[in-house]
Chains A and B, each alone.
Chain A
Amino acid sequence: MMLRQILDVAWLDLVRRIRNRSAFVVGFAGPVGLAVLFGLMLSGGGGGGVSVGVAAGPATEEFIARATANAPDDGPEVRYEAFADEASARRAVDDDEVGAAVVLRDPVAVDLVVFTRTDRPISAAVAEAVGNGVQDSLLGETPATSRPLEPEALGGRELSLAAYYGAAMPLLFLFFTTSLAAQSLLAEREDGTLARLLSTSISPAALVAGKVLAVFVLSVAGFAAAWVVTTVMADAAWGAPAGVIVLILASVAALAGIATFVASFASTARQAETLSSVVAFGLALLGGNLVSPGAMPDRLRQLRRLTPNGWALDGFVQLSTDSASVGSIAVVAAVLLVFAVGFGAAGLARVQRVVAP
């Protein structure tokens, strides 16, 4: 009985939303449309140029200077970046901050590693050349013993900007969509239908659950549509489908939690809408939904960690660039679930006051 009531409430909400076009735009057409638009505008990009990281302990600067001096005139322009240790150099390649990296593990044993990415062949070639140069100079006058370097490919693909905005836009809209649950309850209170519902045998909890289910369905549908449409129309590479599905569900849950919490401070549907918009744009700016993270100042990049949309976006970037498995986004998914449960529980507790007699 209770389950049936939840489904009835959810169904009613969905039907009314779809009939009321503005809500349909927020939940579906908006995110999908903007994702495709950004995707098509940016799908050519990817950028980067040739860049090589170097980590050779105290000798790092010297190697960079020598490599710059030895560069052939007709070769590509190369940007070198110094790293303190192997781990940070490797991470930079992983995150596509540099195209490849040369790391001197042990100057005495002449233990050299070159990290490359399959999608950065030119950077990889330059790094190998630099690596060989380093090896030669370390081995001194006996280049005969020089071993061919075995580049260690880190896999990974170029960050697809189409996929980036394909995820960033639905994440932005998610905030508006998910706040509709609380808004709808407040609107029913204003319209008088809440009193009637509460006079029936339905429990307040079932009523709230039905509203939440409706926005969940709408949000996931909008997000998934953005995924499919940008993949088909803008060649967006979102990465492993299982990971994408997990992240979409976790993102919707996290933002639904925050949106419910925020909207629970309002006493009318109109107030809830205004409040949600303000918080949505604030979080969107911090989280990188509007500007890609590369374009953000360092300090702002740190703040992304405070926002669920920032975490979610990081997760989508990882999936897109690392061809990562579901496991590698487990941390992101877990953090999102913490947002969902923490804010969701607080928000629902507050929303109960709207429906409780």
Chain B
Amino acid sequence: MLRVRDLERSFGDRTAVDGLSFDVAAGETYGLLGPNGSGKTTTISMICGILRSDSGIVELDGRSIDHRTRDAKRDLGLVPQELAVYADLTARENLRFFGRIQGLAGSELDTAIDRVLEVVALTDRADDLSREFSGGMQRRLNIAVGLLHGPKLLILDEPTVGVDPQSRNQILDAVDALGGEGLAVIYTTHYMEEAERLCDRIGIIDAGRLLAEGTRAELVAGLGDAARVRIDLADGAGDAVVSAVRGVDGVGSADLSGATLDVVTERPNAVIAPVIVAATDAGASVAGVAVDQADLESVFLDLTGRALRD
């Protein structure tokens, strides 16, 4: 249903999106997983036609979308990363306005408003000013506005950032349910767990490029039998330790985030001892060691040599 080909966009001499291609099928939930600044927002801004692309194609059901498109955009629902509701209006007034702008009216509009309020669990707060909402409730209203006009493709840009755990769960449940109803969804995040839980397929994006794509199982299988070894350092963490560990035979990649050294390897049992020796020789002292089965985090580490979260 959505086809993106060779999408490119630079700001000055910084390339934000660098030849991105992917497809989203009807009813599919597609995750764009990538760290801060990897180009997620820039990508979806071009998909929604609110940002000019330098080159490339976006097609929704065979209709091309760019910054001049009007009508075809009715099939899109955007939930921006930044809250995009009027704080001085109630939830219902916000929904009514955006619904009218999208071409809804009368009882059709009223029905749609009641439906989305239900979806995001805001029915009993519908007539409160949105500035009086908690952060999580505002995020839920933000989602409701994107859903209101019944788009075929819903695009959510990091909808759970800065949200309390309870609201976060509500949001994830709602998105899960929407995906189940046959709505196509693009979900951007830098939380690996969210991508794993919600998405049928995941594209891993870094520095504006799509590095890998597939189901969670496919992505992890791409690592072979790799596992992730996490080594907590009591002190002495530094670049010297990282390069020493990378030099150990059998280590796929190694990266330091904070005081934790992430090592991806296909032979965890064989490398643990030499890695600890190398780290100690380089001046670090080891406080603990854990072996995880590979997950998206290790896929990202393997692809980029860096941890997903900085």
Q: A residues bordering B, Cβ < 8 Å?
A: 1, 4-5, 8-9, 12, 15-16, 19-20, 191-193, 195-203, 356-357
A200 and B80 form a contact (CB under 8 A): no
**Is B145 close to A, CB under 8 A?**
yes
Are B97 and A200 touching (Cβ within 8 A)?
A: no
Contact A197 B86 (CB under 8 A): no
Given contacts A9-B101, A192-B80, A199-B78, 12 further A-B contacts (CB under 8 A): A1-B103, A191-B83, A192-B83, A193-B86, A196-B78, A198-B48, A199-B49, A200-B73, A200-B102, A201-B70, A201-B71, A201-B101
State in angstroms the CA–CA spacing of A340 and B246 once bound together: 69
Q: Which residues of A contact B45 (CB under 8 A)?
A: 195
Chain B residue contacts of A198, Cβ below 8 A = 48-50
C-alpha gap A19/B48 in the complex (Å): 32
Which residues of chain B are within 8 angstroms of A4 by Cβ–Cβ distance? 100
B247 to chain A, nearest CB (A): 47
Of A195, A198, A200, A203, most B-chain CB atoms within 10 Å: A200
A-side contacts of B82, CB under 8 Å: 192, 195
B71, B80, B87, B145: the one within 8 Å of A195 (CB): B80
B129's nearest neighbour on chain A, judged by CB, is: A19
Least distance between B218 CB and chain A CB atoms (Å): 31
- Verify if B67 is at the interface (C-beta below 8 Å from A): yes
- Using an 8 Å CB-CB cutoff, how does the interface string of B94-110 with A read, 1 for contact, 0 for none? 00011011110000000
Interface of A is mostly: helix
Task: Decide if B103 touches A196 in the complex (CB within 8 Å).
Answer: no
A213 to chain B, nearest CB (A): 15
Q: Are B84 and A196 in contact (CB under 8 A)?
A: yes
CB contact under 8 A between A199 and B73, given known A16-B88, A192-B83, A357-B52: yes
Flag if A201 contacts B83 (CB, 8 Å): no
Hey, which bits of chain B sit against chain A, CB under 8 A?
45, 48-52, 67, 70-71, 73-74, 76, 78, 80, 82-89, 97-98, 100-103, 145-146
Chain A residue, CB-CB nearest to B82: A192
- In the complex the two chains form, what is the Cα distance from A202 to B70 in whole Å? 7
Q: Which of B50, B51, B73, B86 contacts A201 (CB 8 A)?
A: B73
Compute how far the CA of A3 lies from the CA of B52 in the bound complex, rounded to whole angstroms.
Answer: 26
Query: Whose C-beta in chain A lies nearest to the C-beta of B52?
Result: A357
Partner of B103, one of A12, A191, A201: A201
Q: Are A20 and B101 in contact (CB under 8 A)?
A: no
Residues in A with CB closer than 8 Å to B103 are: 1, 201
Which of B71, B88, B101 is A5 in contact with, Cβ under 8 Å?
A: B101
Q: Identify 28 residue pairs between A and B in the complex whose beta-carbon atoms are under 8 Å apart, listed by A's number.
A: A1-B103, A4-B100, A5-B100, A8-B97, A8-B100, A16-B86, A192-B80, A192-B82, A193-B84, A193-B85, A195-B50, A195-B82, A196-B84, A196-B146, A197-B101, A198-B50, A199-B48, A199-B76, A199-B80, A200-B73, A200-B74, A201-B71, A201-B73, A201-B74, A201-B102, A202-B70, A203-B70, A357-B50
Question: Whole-angstrom distance between the alpha carbons of A1 and B100 in the complex?
Answer: 10
Known A-B contacts A16-B89, A196-B78, A357-B67; A202 and B101 likewise in contact (beta carbons under 8 Å): yes
- Tell me the complex Cα distance, A325–B175, Å: 67
Most chain B CB atoms below 10 A, which of A4, A9, A12, A199: A199
> How far does the alpha carbon of A197 sit from the alpha carbon of B50 in the complex, in Å?
9
- Chain A residues lying within 8 Å of B78, measured Cβ to Cβ, are 195-196, 199
Residues of A within 8 A of B101 (CB): 5, 8-9, 197, 200-202
For residue A307, give the distance in angstroms from its CB to the closest CB of chain B: 34
**Which of A5, A15, A357 gathers the greatest number of chain B CB atoms within 10 Å?**
A357
**Given A4-B100, A200-B102, A201-B102: A357 and B73 within 8 A (CB)?**
no
Could you tell me the distance between the alpha carbons of A8 and B71 in the complex, rounded to whole angstroms?
18
List, in ascending order, chain A residues with CB within 8 A of B85's CB: 193
- Report the nearest A residue to B69, measured CB to CB: A201
Q: Which 9 A-B pairs have the closest CB atoms?
A: A357-B67, A192-B82, A196-B84, A199-B78, A192-B84, A199-B48, A198-B50, A8-B100, A201-B70
B169 to chain A, nearest CB (A): 24
B16 to chain A, nearest CB (A): 15
B143 to chain A, nearest CB (A): 12
**B52, B74, B80, B88: the one within 8 Å of A196 (CB):** B80
- Chain A residues positioned under 8 Å from B100 (CB to CB): 4-5, 8
| Contact yes or no, B49 A196, CB < 8 A | no
| B70 A20 Cβ-Cβ under 8 A | no
Distance in angstroms from A127 CB to nearest chain B CB is 63
Q: Is the CB of A191 within 8 A of B84?
A: yes
Kindly report which residue of chain B lies nearest to residue A194, judged by CB atoms: B84
- A199-B157 Cα distance, complex, nearest whole Å: 13
Bound Cα distance A4, B103 (Å): 9
Report the separation of the CA atoms of residues A9 and B101 in the bound assembly, to the nearest whole angstrom.
8
Docked complex Cα distance between A16 and B129 (Å): 12
Residues in A with CB closer than 8 Å to B89 are 15-16
Bound: A357/B97 CA distance, A: 22
Could you tell me the distance between the alpha carbons of A202 and B78 in the complex, rounded to whole angstroms?
A: 14
B151 to chain A, nearest CB (A): 10
Measured between beta carbons, the chain B residues less than 8 angstroms from A19 are 88
A200→B75 CA distance, assembly (Å): 9
Chain A residue at smallest Cβ distance from B51: A357
Most chain A CB neighbours (cut-off 10 Å) among B70, B80, B101: B101
